[in-house]
Structure 1
Amino acid sequence: MAATLHDVARIAGVSIKTVSNVINDYPHIRPTTKQRVLDAIAELDYRPNLSARSLRSGRTGVIGLAVPELSLSYFAELADAVIRSAERHGVTVLIEQTGGDRAREIELLTSPRRQLTDGLIFSALGMDSDDSEYLRVGYPLVLLGERIFGGPTDHVTMRNVDAARAATEHLIALGRRRIAVIGAHEGEVIGSAGLRLRGYREALEAAGIPFDPALIGYTTLWHRSNGADAMRALLASGVEFDAVFGLNDTLTLGAMRVLQEAGLRIPKDVAAIGFDDLDEAQYSLPTLTTIDPGREEIAETAVRVLLERIASTDLALPPREILADFRIVERESTAPAAA
């Protein structure tokens, strides 16, 4: 038989009200008392009745996470980080995929399914700044991504321009001057591709290196196959380059495979750097130097900010834009020639 609130209270030696306060993360509880309750919950494998809690508090204890595509490693790892953070805060995550389709994203924002959750962490890809009014919803919402800035909701994102500039400067510091880019989007200014390309160009300009449009490999999607195809096109064009900056790790890994098939050595002939610090970047051959854009920080901050909004009675608080820190993770694909 499943453990009850009464069972937890009896084992912990506290009142049912105290157990309820711990489960609902009431702040004014002595640490020793809270730990006794948590130990009893673990011992009994107690699971709160979410339906009953919802009726009493008006909350479900569930938050939503909407991402474009879980088959893309970045979003899978982001979802994992959000789930782990939510568990630390005592809430559950309901995940939905949009396919990056604008109509599906807008439908999701107004779907009756939102009644199943207390708030939503929303990574938009199909929507853009012209769609910001759709973000004026009647529930707590935290926006992720680089499609909409200055909107009516809290926004947690990464320092795309600065990080891409740092990635390019890393290659320049190694003596590379002909740096190709894989993954640019035609005409994009706002968005991950547009912002990262801007950082690349800023680094070239600061180093006095002329921008060469022939070094830009355009794609639509950011899968391995797109990186491979873009690299094949660059090689077929005959343009000379001694480094490649893939606008995400997945693109870069696809491009690296094609470089090696062509007999080029990484990093001796072509240095390579990616963006995202995916887990698989540690196990490619050679291992991939990349930008860690602060994915763990983004997940933790998004959950914390959303829960603050859920708990707040002041709905007029102004929206916040929070930028995560980044770092370069140096690995074999940009190792100096002497190494």
Structure 2
Amino acid sequence: MAATMTDVAARAGVSVKTVSNFFNGYQYMRPDTRARIEAAVAELDYRINRSARALRSGRTRMIALVLPELDHSYFAQLAQEIIDAADERGLTVIVETTRGRRDRELAAVTGIAGQVVDGAIYGPVALGPHDARHIDEAFPLVVIGERLVEGLGDHVLIADLEVARTAVTHLTALGRKRVVLLGVNDSPLPRGSALRRLGAEQALTEAGLAVDPELALPVTEWHRQEGAEAISGLLDRGVAFDAVFGFNDALALGAQWELQRRGLTVPDDVAVIGVDDTEDGRFAQPPLTTVSAGRQSIAHLTVELLVRRIEHGRPAAGFSTHLMPHELVVRGSTVTLSSAPNTPAH
């Protein structure tokens, strides 16, 4: 016969309420109590009856995570961080991808509201302000990334402008004067790419350098292939530059690969910096200098905000916006390893 929560409580020497708190992600439980419950769960091979639990509470302890893609290193790592953070709160995560298509983004967020999930963490990249009317504002939602649709839930943002200023200021402090801005987008919306371009141009101006439109390279996707192709085209045109700011690590890694393929040395001939602090960048040769936007902190905050919304509903004071802190991580793609300062390698 399958073990019950009462059996787990008896084996661990605690009350049934304490076991329930354990599965509900109660944060203030004593470590030794938590360890005894974990051991009892393992020994009895206990499994929560989610269907019965949902009928009693009206909640499933399941949330959705909607992202553009998972074959992008940043999104894959962010998804895992969110899954881990949710697991600490006793939540199961259902992951759905949209490929950044507006129709799929709308279908995802309108469809999951009618499914057996308590709420969603939502990362749109194609929606606009006019799309808000399609989304049920009563459904618990936390939006991450682009500031495209306001008023749907709490919003967790990367400080795109400040991140870009940090990256380009690092390059200009090293004496680089011709900085490629790799990843620009001409959209009139306040997209992350537009803010990163603005922040980068501000850093150039503050360093007394001209902003050269020829060094602003648009791409269709923030992937390695697009980064490599954009840099290849710049080299073919004979445009002089001594640094590349990739608007994410993938673009920067594609640029670094193409530079090396064409016989240029990184960082001596061209310094390269990205954004995101992905694992791929740490193991590149040379390792990629980057600006970390606090992926783990984003994951924990989004889960915490969603749980709060699920439990308490729409806040009377309105939804909150959280701009995440960032950190420059200096590696060998901008300075030689022997001269690199003591910075976190992560």
Q: TM-score range by the shorter chain?
A: over 0.9
Match of 2:276 in 1: 276
Sequence identity, in percent?
45
Instruction: Tell me how far 1:169 sits from its aligned partner.
Output: 0.1
Amino acid at match of 1:208: G
CA distance in 1 between counterparts of 2:76 and 2:244 reads 25
Match of 1:88 in 2: 88
Q: Secondary structure at the match of 1:231?
A: helix
The CA deviation string for residues 177-231 of structure 1, in whole angstroms up to 9 with x for no partner, is 1001111113455112111111101101111111000111111111111001100
Match of 2:175 in 1: 175
CA distance in 1 between counterparts of 2:257 and 2:312 reads 50
Match of 1:232 in 2: 232
Superposition pairs of residues 286-297 of structure 1, within 5 angstroms = 286-297=286-297
Judged with a 3 Å threshold, the aligned counterparts in structure 2 of structure 1 residues 87 and 338 are, in CA distance, closer, same or farther, namely closer
Match of 1:164 in 2: 164
Q: Residue 9 of structure 1 contacts residue 15 of structure 1 at CA under 8 Å; is this kept in 2?
A: yes
Superposition pairs of residues 111-150 of structure 1, within 5 angstroms = 111=111, 114-148=114-148, 150=150
CA distance in 2 between counterparts of 1:88 and 1:28 reads 12
The CA deviation string for residues 1-48 of structure 1, in whole angstroms up to 9 with x for no partner, is 543213202202334344334323467877765554344224333221
Which moves more between the two structures, 239-248 or 7-16?
Answer: 7-16
Judged with a 3 Å threshold, the aligned counterparts in structure 2 of structure 1 residues 135 and 156 are, in CA distance, closer, same or farther, namely farther
Match of 1:210 in 2: 210
Aligned: 1:245 with 2:245: yes
The CA deviation string for residues 286-321 of structure 1, in whole angstroms up to 9 with x for no partner, is 110011011111111000000011111565341000
Judged with a 3 Å threshold, the aligned counterparts in structure 2 of structure 1 residues 28 and 167 are, in CA distance, closer, same or farther, namely closer
CA distance in 1 between counterparts of 2:239 and 2:105 reads 39
Which moves more between the two structures, 328-337 or 51-60?
Answer: 328-337
Q: Residue 128 of structure 1 contacts residue 147 of structure 1 at CA under 8 Å; is this kept in 2?
A: no
TM normalised by structure 1 equals 0.93
CA distance in 2 between counterparts of 1:313 and 1:141 reads 10
Instruction: Tell me how far 1:151 sits from its aligned partner.
Output: 2.8
Superposition pairs of residues 1-339 of structure 1, within 5 angstroms = 2-25=2-25, 33=33, 35-111=35-111, 114-148=114-148, 150-313=150-313, 315-336=315-336, 339=339
Amino acid at match of 1:41: V
Q: Residue 181 of structure 1 contacts residue 215 of structure 1 at CA under 8 Å; is this kept in 2?
A: yes
Q: Secondary structure at the match of 2:96?
A: strand
Q: Secondary structure at the match of 2:275?
A: coil
Instruction: Tell me how far 1:142 sits from its aligned partner.
Output: 0.1
Q: Residue 292 of structure 2 contacts residue 326 of structure 2 at CA under 8 Å; is this kept in 1?
A: yes
Q: Secondary structure at the match of 1:41?
A: helix
Judged with a 3 Å threshold, the aligned counterparts in structure 2 of structure 1 residues 229 and 8 are, in CA distance, closer, same or farther, namely same
Instruction: Tell me how far 1:325 sits from its aligned partner.
Output: 0.8
Amino acid at match of 1:283: F
Judged with a 3 Å threshold, the aligned counterparts in structure 2 of structure 1 residues 260 and 47 are, in CA distance, closer, same or farther, namely same
Which moves more between the two structures, 204-213 or 165-174?
Answer: 204-213
CA distance in 1 between counterparts of 2:30 and 2:172 reads 55
Judged with a 3 Å threshold, the aligned counterparts in structure 2 of structure 1 residues 181 and 99 are, in CA distance, closer, same or farther, namely same
The CA deviation string for residues 43-68 of structure 1, in whole angstroms up to 9 with x for no partner, is 33322111111011000011110000
Judged with a 3 Å threshold, the aligned counterparts in structure 2 of structure 1 residues 303 and 146 are, in CA distance, closer, same or farther, namely same
TM normalised by structure 2 equals 0.91
CA distance in 1 between counterparts of 2:86 and 2:169 reads 36
Instruction: Tell me how far 1:166 sits from its aligned partner.
Output: 0.4
Which moves more between the two structures, 304-313 or 50-59?
Answer: 304-313
Aligned alpha-carbon RMSD (Å): 2.1
CA distance in 1 between counterparts of 2:145 and 2:17 reads 41
> Which sections of structure 1, spanning at least 5 residues, go unmatched?
none
CA distance in 1 between counterparts of 2:109 and 2:102 reads 11
Instruction: Tell me how far 1:143 sits from its aligned partner.
Output: 0.3
Q: Residue 168 of structure 1 contacts residue 203 of structure 1 at CA under 8 Å; is this kept in 2?
A: yes
Amino acid at match of 1:226: E
Amino acid at match of 2:163: A
CA distance in 2 between counterparts of 1:133 and 1:83 reads 29
Amino acid at match of 1:243: A
Q: Residue 159 of structure 1 contacts residue 324 of structure 1 at CA under 8 Å; is this kept in 2?
A: yes
Q: Residue 136 of structure 1 contacts residue 153 of structure 1 at CA under 8 Å; is this kept in 2?
A: no
Count of aligned pairs: 339
